Copies of this chain bind each other. A is one copy, B any other.
Amino acid sequence: MYMTTPALHTIIKLPEPTLHRLPWYLAYVKIMQAQGVEHISSTQIAKAINVDASQIAKDLSFVNISGKTRVGYEVNTLVNVLEHFLGFNSQHKAIVYGVGRLGAALMHDSGLAQYGLEIVAGFDVRAMKQNNINGIPLYSVNEFSKKREELDAQIGILTVPVEKAQECADYMIANGIKAIWNFTPYRLQAPKHIVIQDTSIYAHLAVMFNRLNNIRGEEEK
């Protein structure tokens, strides 16, 4: 079995590329688990997801798990350790700030809870027709300070129009938010002790269009 210390993932600082790859391993190993596979080697994972086997072994060494020669990793243990390590099996309370299409979609996405994110409230500057989405209460931003404290949410999901991004981020931080999951394409400024996680889907679009056009360009040569 693996070592469990309650604060395991609070202590170890991982390289960010490793943190980006671990969910790929987890996703694949969970599929194998559902198929009843009991052991899996880094070579098998490597073949399935197209990452170098030595890279996988190195990444997994960070999470305090080691495979057995010829047998590989025990699948159930690997799933548990990765979920624990990535923070997916403890709930992190979050609020949605800006309940437009995207904000509302996130409040509907029950997948997030499986990955450790519990959305406990939504806030918007506009008057809203309903008082909840998917059972999650909606409030006016005027109630933000009070409700955030009551709910003890540390994560703010920022889904406002881009021109309001910095102002709303500042407001959340001033009222106790410690981490911002930023879905706007705006590059936020924040104090050092605040975590900013950018997920700008539009930036990904630009990268995709550029690659697609490069491939077309090469084919036309």
A31-B163, A101-B105, A162-B27 in contact; A211/B185 too (CB < 8 A)?
no
B residues less than 8 Å from A77 (CB atoms): none
Interface of A is mostly: helix
B87 touches A19 (CB 8 A): no
Nearest B residue (CB) for A92 = B209
Nearest B residue (CB) for A23 = B203
> How big is the A interface, by class?
35 or more
A128 interface hit (Cβ, 8 Å):
no
Q: A194 vs B26: C-alpha distance in the bound complex, in angstroms?
A: 24
Nearest B residue (CB) for A184 = B27
The smallest beta-carbon distance between A93 and chain B, in angstroms, is 11
Q: A193 vs B211: C-alpha distance in the bound complex, in angstroms?
A: 10
A24 interface hit (Cβ, 8 Å):
yes
| A contacts, CB < 8 Å to B | 7, 9-11, 13-14, 16, 19-20, 22-24, 26-28, 30-31, 34, 48-51, 86-88, 92, 101-102, 104-105, 108-112, 115-117, 154-155, 162-163, 178-179, 181, 184-187, 189, 193, 195, 197-217, 219
